[in-house]
Amino acid sequence: AQRVTQPEKLLSVFKGAPVELKCNYSYSGSPELFWYVQYSRQRLQLLLRHISRESIKGFTADLNKGETSFHLKKPFAQEEDSAMYYCALSGRSGSQGNLIFGKGTKLSVKP
């Protein structure tokens, strides 16, 4: 079965500390992985995709096919990073395929 697991509902760190939001997936083929973010009172928006291998707002995520993981990392958290983060996978090429989301992790960065 296709599934995305985000084991932490809430992650609280201090400003300047490293942060890692965990994501594990279950999929029989080669999925495309995404991280979406929702800031307070804003709409859900794409943060990054694994195939682009880019860094957005200092965040990076590496796809580990052996561990079926796609953890989101940032070396120095900022208060403005506080938001809800969702890991998602698509089983079809490109994001024309529908997304399967995890339950999300709320990141709280304290001053």
Partner 1 sequence: EAGVAQSPRYKIIEKRQSVAFWCNPISGHATLYWYQQILGQGPKLLIQFQNNGVVDDSQLPKDRFSAERLKGVDSTLKIQPAKLEDSAVYLCASSSGPGQFFGPGTRLTVL
Nearer to partner 1, 15 or 44 (CB): 44
**Rounded to an integer, what distance in angstroms lies between the CA atom of residue 60 and that of residue 79?**
17
Pair of tokens at residue 15:
């400003």
Nearest approach, Cβ of 44 to partner 1 (angstroms)? 4
Nearest approach, Cβ of 47 to partner 1 (angstroms)? 10
Nearer to partner 1, 92 or 110 (CB): 92
CA dihedral of residues 83, 107, 30, 56 (deg, nearest 10) = 60
- Number of Cβ within a 10 Å radius of residue 91: 15
Contacts with partner 1, residue ranges (CB under 8 A): 4, 34, 43-46, 49, 52, 86, 88, 94-96, 98-104
